[in-house]
Amino acid sequence: MDFDRLKTLLAERGEPAYRLAQAKRAYFVDFASSWDEVTVYSKPLRAKLADLPWNELTVMRVQEAPNGDTVKTLFSCVDGQKIETVLMRHEDGRNTVCVSSQAGCAMACAFCATGTMGLKRNLTVAEIVEQVVHYSRWLKPKGEWVTNVVLMGMGEPFHNYDNVMKALRLLNDKDGLNLGARHLSISTCGIVPGILKFADENFQANLAISIHAGTDEVRSKFMPVNTPYPLAKLMAAVRTYMEKTNRQVMFEYLLLKGVNDRHEDAEALAKLLGPDYRLVHVNVIKYHPTEAFDATDRDKRIDFVRWLHEFGVPATHRVTFGEDIDAACGQLAVREEKGQVSQGLDAVRLSRQAKEALKK
């Protein structure tokens, strides 16, 4: 729902201001699925608003993991662009929605399936928010609700900065979904201007950085973003963020067999993040195959976490959700547009879209 447009339409029709609040309640609290269910509006008013879509997204396909802990939905936008969204159902009762911020992605990270699609366009505020509302509707009959939202789906959130922030504030708004800011997270591949801008937001959503290496030599092999924003610039921005917000930063570290999973890689990461680890936490993540690399085996992943602990770095091994339905970290890509991920490190190159996007 485009609430900015609704506000304008209601004003043009001379409707009282409380009509907007009624629509928000129907959308975010009652989880109505169409204008027909907004019975606090008269039928004539609903008819006048019929041209404003209640839903911006259409469900195209739903996949549920055999154990029921993960659900992935393929949506079609009004203009035909496709995106994927994932619900992760934790054993402790939390329900986390992994939201996409763009159709496709320009960042071309070699380990990520989304990067093979290229960037189609940014998602609107309504499209971002509706991904969460969709799963809120899905959970309601089960007596459950969305507890957390992570911007870790398709796209680079800080390349759709304004729409992402508006969406998060609407999800946080007491007249919106009323999710606590600390239950909202943004993950970036390392867009320095976005990190610095986010530091001044006075909004307590969580920040996660896809780091994946402790040296430029290694990181540049599979993350083109490291060319304009090498680790020195990235960490300077992160430390500015920490100083301004006094908030912890999560660092995501995807283990690639024989590439970044050695003891010296753990030591390099510890040196990069140190010496003060008070506001640092590392999530060590299993690589979910997208044909570019081999996954580090479980014992080696556990070793890597142990090595970080020995260096004094707080770290955990993230639980995997949805690998069997291509819904895990790095696997999201619209199936009919999914191409081949570049084979081998020498094949990693900046696309034209990535070059242009990284200038912003």
Please give the pLDDT value at position 208. Answer: 96
- pLDDT computed for residue 60 by the predictor: 93
Judged against a pLDDT cut of 80, whether residue 286 lies above it is answered with yes
- pLDDT tier at 347, thresholds 50, 70, 90: very low
Q: Are residues 16 and 157 in the same domain?
A: no
Domain contains 256: yes
Active site residue 98: no
Q: Are residues 90 and 37 in the same domain?
A: no
- Rounded Cα distance between 224 and 257, Å, is 19
Same domain, 25 and 126: no
| Structural domain for 264, as ranges | 69-358
Q: What confidence category does residue 56 fall into, taking pLDDT thresholds of 50, 70 and 90?
A: very high
The continuous run of DSSP H or E covering 73 comes out as strand 70-77
Query: What digits encode the pLDDT tens for the residues 92-139?
Result: 989 999 999 999 999 989 888 787 788 999 999 999 999 999 999 999
Q: Which of 15, 84, 127, 252 is catalytic?
A: 84
Find the catalytic residue in 77, 105, 109, 329.
329
CATH value at residue 199? 3.20.20.70
Q: Is residue 64 part of a domain?
A: no
- Give the residue from 87, 85, 156 showing the smallest Cα distance to 120: 156
Contact (Cβ atoms closer than 8 angstroms) between residue 29 and residue 145: no
Residue 336 reports pLDDT greater than 70: no
Residue 46 sits in the same domain as residue 76: no
Does residue 97 share a domain with residue 19? no
158-172, 234-248, 271-285, range with the lowest pLDDT = 271-285
Structural domain contains residue 62: no
pLDDT at 131: 97
CA distances 45 to 3, 11, 41, Å, are: 16, 13, 6
pTM of the model: 0.87
Q: 37 catalytic, yes or no?
A: no
Q: What is the count of structural domains for the chain?
A: 2
